[in-house]
Amino acid sequence: MHGRLKVKSTEEQKEAKRIEQEKKLKLYTAATEEAFRKRKDGEYDDEALKVSGEILYRNSDFSTMWNFRKEIFLHMNDNKNEDELQELFDSELDFLEACLKYNPKSYGTWHHRCFVLDTMPRPDWEKELKLCNLFLQYDERNFHCWDYRRFIVKRSQVTPEAELEFTTNKISSNFSNYSSWHYRSKLLPFIHPDPSSPAGVKEDILLQEYEMVQNAFFTDPDDQSAWFYYRWLLGRGKKTVGINCVCCDKIHSKIIVSTTEPVLVPDTVELKVEVDGSHMPMTWRTASNNIGYSNLWISDIPEDFKISGSCTLTLTLGGSSTSCSCELLLQDDSTEECYFHKDTPAIWFRSELSAAATTTLKRELDSVKELHEMEPENKWVLLTSISLMKSLDSHSYEDTIMDELKTLETIDSHRTSYYRDLRSKYLTENILERTDLSKRCLRLRDVGLTVFYHAKLLPLLVELDLSNNRLTSLRDVRHIYCLQRLCVDDNQISKLQGLESIVHLKEISIRNNEIKREEEFQFLRKCPLVVVNIAGNPVCDSVNVNSVLRNILTGLKKIDDIKIS
Amino acid sequence: MSAPAPAQEFLKDKHVKFFKRCLQVLPPQYSSLDTSRMTIAFFALSGLDILDSLSEIEADRDNIINWIYSLQLLPDKQETNLDQCGFRGSSTLGNSSDPDKARKAPIPHDSGHIAMTYTALASLLILGDDLSRANKTSILAGLRKLQLQDGSFCPVPAGSENDMRFVYCASCISYILDDWAGIDMPRVLDYIQKSLSYDGAIGQGPGLESHGGSTFCAIASLFLMNQLEKIIPRKQLDRLQRWCILRQESGFQGRPNKPVDTCYSFWVGATLEILGIYDKTDFHCNRSFVLQTQDDIVGGFAKWPGHTPDALHAYFGVCGLSLLGEPGLKTLHPALNMTQRSVDHLETLHRKWRGQS
């Protein structure tokens, strides 16, 4: 019904068409009624096949009618001999082929064909495969036909190797056949499995695939099929999970844990806490209270569990493939103890590469760069080049990566904001890897950030400077549990949501932003704020900010550098 | 002087008339959809709701509600037919339009259809009904019967194809009824997880090619189940976002290397909205494409510019524009695929039901 081209017709044509359609409708309605009568009366005969067939040929979405047809065949299946049945089903396959030529994208018709093949005495799988070839010639992206093909392969003796060969041929005749590349991604790990590699495919086979896919994108660099497939081949492995940092906040009776990779507690890993050797029952939740993977987990210390005097707190993270633990020495008089893993965050955002993998990636990068020389404004080339450089060494390639993202912003204007966010992310990752976070202070000022990433890795920061960027939201700051001093001067922030749960926040500087409504200050209600800088926001022109803030924040000592008397 | 570019004006009144016509009489091209009249009614009603024009059909409101309830297959006295229950798409099979009569005189092979049950419940909510006549127990019993071993759903108890579309219908039905007992959750989650493809997006089932429509169905279902971040870890979500973002050419395409099509401004757009990054797309070009498919004589939207509009594309065209914040359109709830106003009504019902139980 969709996608009919508009055609202008004369009055005469219209009238003729109307009469013809009326006639068709009458026949259609009569046939439907007759079919239902026969089904009701249990008349599972040739006539029933004829009537239901007439309807289904025109309207293959009529699932009830297909079910009637199925019943007729099941009835005949019990009442005819094998040869009769074979002949009957053969003619049904011819009928279905005609239906498919009329509407090649009907779920009902393809589904019924599966039923016929599963029911008939001697299915000819070879013939079915040829039918698929034919329909994929008409439309190489018809996913109904691809799905049917996979059904045939599952049922018959067709080898996966033969199917791989089929995709090779399809791809050689047209590189842009996304469906063929997709099928290949399913076949390769099955034929040449290597569970230790990220794509699940043996190394020597991967090398062959690189060559094939390069042929494709050197021939037509604008075609995305090969690029998606290539990206999959180049995928890096999973990293092991470790403890990034831990904080025990005795005042608020909370334990905060950040892991190097997102985990699901307790489904994928267990987090156990012992105090001087005795088990402390915890109820872990994510910072945002969502059900799901997270780097950041929080639990209350149980009320009846007294931590007094000096003691040792041991936290163990255990999963199917990892197990690690850390210790915190809690002093009697301290309010808070923290733990930082000694190696963090040097390689948080990359997988360690073997020498062989490095050689491969370097060689692939060389080819992509070569293509980039010829096609400097091709977005797929740039996207892939950035991904490769990032896997190899995000620091030494930093300038090139940033330049290429800048180019993408210009040449692919539909996705400008997306590339700006990517740039923010990659830049933050590099800065984090170069920062000694045990100092609990991070400066990310004046680097053009549009989004603040990776807050879940930074719960122990006490001081954060995000001034002079292009941030519009503080949503993610809420993950920085220990934050006391925050500076976000000179951004485009209009909302203060995100600050409501930072129970340690003493100083905030939010000058020259876009805060317009005084209601936003309600998000600061629970913060023990002593210093607030708010000048240069539209809200300052419309309300008396001083009195509003003093009403909400009783401990306030200074607003915009002026002491409150 | 060169001729001015054709005005890209959103013709709200024409679309209101288009959807009103869909509720009354349809041209013969629609005859193949006779068995799924309920979905056409949903497109029209939800379309009018987004256009903030439900008042236009106020006089027919009760009639439409009664017609929808007449499509509900109710349990018989001994409850022997629970497996068959739900809503039908139309009265083509010949059931009585009086629910009580239909109940007393059952016709063979009569059963609900998962997509019709979903669109019927959604339409009732849009019309402000309180779902008090929906037989929850039997709808959930009917739903349970439709889940297959692999976790997916098929639409009718007599058997048919099964895929992600019907997983989405099952999720909407359960969310609306505020009861997930009709779904075996671990199995359906397993099905969705196995349908993740190498490119980061999601196919109609395990091993099948990624598609904008099935990706929406999977992501919206996970969102309604509150399981999105549990089933798809961050890095996979990043890849999924990349695949979706790269579907924009002017409007959106459903698969790589396919032409852009009005309805994907909703399917892919709503997915990106659920994932929280719809604002990273090019609104201007997207709006411009959708408006090119607008029919400025009869109203509605077509799949492609210059083609005949149809109910499905008219509806998703309006949805796409609502996601873009078109003035005069009501806000859309991206996962439930109806206005936030109707979802608010549903939340009120939920609070009432929970208070009572």
**Identity of the residue in B158, B207, B277 whose CB atom sits nearest the CB atom of A186:** B207
Interface contact flag, A5 B32, Cβ < 8 Å: no
* Model confidence at A261: pLDDT above 70: yes
CATH node for A439-563: 3.80.10.10
Other beta carbons within 10 angstroms of residue B31's beta carbon come to 17
How is chain A split into domains, by residue range?
19-158, 243-341, 350-425, 439-563
Here the tokens at position A239 are 């990293």
A386-412 pLDDT per residue, tens:
999 999 999 999 999 999 999 999 999
Residues of chain B with pLDDT under 50: 1-5
Instruction: Give residue A530's pLDDT.
Output: 97
- Its CATH class, for the domain covering A243-341, is mainly beta
Higher pLDDT, A278 or A348: A278
Residue numbers in B near A54 (CB within 8 A): none
Q: How confident is the model at residue A20 (pLDDT cuts 50, 70, 90)?
A: confident
Interface contact flag, B209 A179, Cβ < 8 Å: yes
* Model confidence at A44: pLDDT above 50: yes
Instruction: Give residue B261's pLDDT.
Output: 97
Residue numbers in A near B158 (CB within 8 A): 64, 67
Residue numbers in B near A178 (CB within 8 A): 209, 255-257
What's phi and psi for A5, nearest 5 deg? Answer: -75, 140
- Least Cα separation, residue A449 to chain B (angstroms): 15
Residue numbers in A near B209 (CB within 8 A): 143, 146, 178-179, 182-183
- Its CATH class, for the domain covering A350-425, is mainly alpha
* Model confidence at A16: pLDDT above 90: no
Contacts of A357 (CB under 8 A, 6+ apart): none
Here the tokens at position A30 are 């009569």
**Identity of the residue in B234, B258, B303 whose CB atom sits nearest the CB atom of A262:** B234
- Least Cα separation, residue B148 to chain A (angstroms): 16
Instruction: Give residue B1's pLDDT.
Output: 40
* Separate counts of helices (H) and strands (E) for chain A: 17, 16
Same-fold call for A19-158 versus A350-425: yes
Which residues on adjacent β-strands are paired with residue B76? none
Instruction: Give residue B130's pLDDT.
Output: 97
Residue numbers in A near B146 (CB within 8 A): none
Instruction: Give residue A64's pLDDT.
Output: 85
Task: Name the percent of chain B lying above pLDDT 90.
Answer: 81
- Its CATH class, for the domain covering A19-158, is mainly alpha
Size of interface A-B (CB pairs under 8 A): 158
Interface contact flag, A414 B229, Cβ < 8 Å: no
> Which amino acid would we find at residue A65?
M
Interface contact flag, B36 A39, Cβ < 8 Å: no
pTM value? Answer: 0.91
**Identity of the residue in A182, A186, A293 whose CB atom sits nearest the CB atom of B233:** A293
- Least Cα separation, residue B134 to chain A (angstroms): 23
Task: Name the percent of chain A lying above pLDDT 90.
Answer: 74
A432-474 pLDDT per residue, tens:
999 988 899 999 999 999 999 999 999 999 999 999 999 999 9
- Least Cα separation, residue B54 to chain A (angstroms): 26
- Least Cα separation, residue A67 to chain B (angstroms): 7
Nearest CA in chain A to B155: A63
- Least Cα separation, residue B132 to chain A (angstroms): 29
Nearest CA in chain B to A22: B28
Other beta carbons within 10 angstroms of residue B2's beta carbon come to 4
Interface contact flag, B30 A4, Cβ < 8 Å: no
Residue numbers in A near B296 (CB within 8 A): none
Contact A190, A163 (CB under 8 A): no
Q: Is A251 helix (H, G, I), strand (E, B) or coil?
A: coil
DSSP character string of B249-283: SSSB-SSTTS---HHHHHHHHHHHHHTT-GGGS-H
Task: Name the percent of chain B lying above pLDDT 70.
Answer: 92
